[in-house]
Structure 1
Amino acid sequence: MVKNTFSFEEIFEQNERRIHYHLHKLNIRDPHQEFYQEGIIAMWNAYESYQPDKGPLSTYFNFTIRHRLIDLIRKENRRLEMEELAPKEEDAAFEAEVYHKASDLTSPEGNPAEHINEDLYLWQKVKELLTEKQWKWVRFYIIERMTLKEIAEQEGVSIEAVKSWAKESRKRLRSLEDFGKLLLKEEYP
């Protein structure tokens, strides 16, 4: 077949099924016809750049359409991955900010008991949310700035046990909705 013997419309009518074949073969669901349109563009590009001495046009169509669809799948996956990572990065930045603010409050010069007295109501509510062991971790690690090893030695448990208290404490304290509801319930009965 010589290039441009047929118009693209004629070639498209004869080869449109190739796009559907590759969509099916790659298990692509295409409710908005984005991948189908990409297949048409790939077919047009293949039609325009086809060189008869390099091989049959049908093989070139298959190659071009398939690889263009795969590229679009990868592009979509990268976009979705970035959308998932963005909130995680924001959460990490927020946690770092909270940690630094807490570090500033519990500076080595100050007495940790002073900070408890300043926000006694808040710390009492935090204590109500936690079990005894979880509260020990909050008190010793966050307020009094003890290391995990020091807490473990003082309480006569393993460091892993203290880490477990910390993990569970964080889980409970992250449920800020419950914590906020508790505070509001107490302030406005």
Structure 2
Amino acid sequence: MDNRISFEEIFEQNKRRIHYQIHKLNIHDPHEEFFQEGLVAMWRAYESYQPDKGPMATYFNYMIRNRMIDAIRKDTRKNEALEKIIHQRKTQLTDGNYHRKSDATNPLVDAQHLPMHDPNLWNNLKSQLTDKQWKWVHYRIILDMPYKEIAEAENVNVEAVKSWGKQVRKKFKDPEFRKAINLDNSL
């Protein structure tokens, strides 16, 4: 006959240990996800407990605490990966070289594939733009300068530089403009 106490009894006697570890680790647990982790840890500790190795209470505390710390680390890694993805998406949406239709983002001109050493393309483009629009292309696309630095170099505010960029992007959307500067054939 098995003299072991049932897990239900062990749980009732020790469920405060789970709450204690949640509090001690300063975990906000509105959905009781960490309580569930603690419960699983207690079950595993109950199943693997060896009386000759030490007191059951100490073993429970150890298992519950470590399981919760592992869960915190897992959540942290997941959140860091999500933040990285969000940051990349924001960068993609705000780099000034994209236009939006609904939720899709399409590059106007992929600067990586521009023939940077093609003087004909740049001369055609310059002839079709105002001085300020050309300055935006030169600083932003060719030199890859941030808006703030462009504004400082031209002694204007950042909004003015963004306005130049909007005008250029509007022109890049126009198929006739692209044809006039021979952009699609250059890529």
**Please, what TM-score do these two structures have when normalized by structure 2?**
0.62
1:43 aligned residue: 42
How far off its partner does 1:5 sit? 1.7
Kindly provide the CA deviation profile for residues 61-107 of structure 1, in whole angstroms up to 9, marking residues without a partner as x: 00000000000001011111110001223455675977743761654
Amino acid at match of 1:35: F
Give the % identical residues: 42
How far off its partner does 1:147 sit? 10
User: Which of 102, 111, 114 pairs up with 2:124?
Assistant: 114
Q: Residue 119 of structure 2 aligns to a residue in which SS?
A: coil
**Structure with the higher helix share, 1 or 2:** 1
Kindly provide the CA deviation profile for residues 131-151 of structure 1, in whole angstroms up to 9, marking residues without a partner as x: xxxx85x354457x5799xxx
Could you tell me how far apart the structure 2 residues matched to 1:50 and 1:13 are? Answer: 17
Amino acid at match of 1:115: L
Q: Residue 31 of structure 1 aligns to a residue in which SS?
A: coil
| 1:83-98 matches, cutoff 5 A | 83-91=82-90
**Structure with the higher strand share, 1 or 2:** 2
2:111 aligned residue: 101
Retained in 1: the 8 A contact 2:34–2:68? yes
Retained in 2: the 8 A contact 1:8–1:44? yes
User: Which of 146, 150, 154 pairs up with 1:166?
Assistant: 150
Q: Residue 71 of structure 2 aligns to a residue in which SS?
A: helix
1:60 aligned residue: 59
Q: Which moved more, 1:62-71 or 1:105-114?
A: 105-114
**Are residues 165 and 55 of structure 1, via their aligned partners in 2, closer, same or farther at CA, if it must alter by over 3 Å?**
same
1:26 aligned residue: 25
Could you tell me how far apart the structure 2 residues matched to 1:56 and 1:75 are? Answer: 29
1:11 aligned residue: 10
Amino acid at match of 1:59: T
How many residues matched?
151
Could you tell me how far apart the structure 2 residues matched to 1:57 and 1:25 are? Answer: 20
Q: Which moved more, 1:22-31 or 1:97-106?
A: 97-106
Gaps of 5+ in 1: 129-134, 149-161, 184-189
Could you tell me how far apart the structure 2 residues matched to 1:174 and 1:90 are? Answer: 22
Gaps of 5+ in 2: 98-106, 171-187
Could you tell me how far apart the structure 1 residues matched to 2:119 and 2:62 are? Answer: 70
Amino acid at match of 2:67: R
Retained in 2: the 8 A contact 1:42–1:68? yes
How far off its partner does 1:114 sit? 1.5
List 4+ stretches of structure 1 deviating above 6 A.
Answer: 96-99, 173-176
Retained in 2: the 8 A contact 1:105–1:115? no
What is the Cα-based RMSD across aligned positions, in Å? 4.0
Q: Residue 65 of structure 2 aligns to a residue in which SS?
A: helix
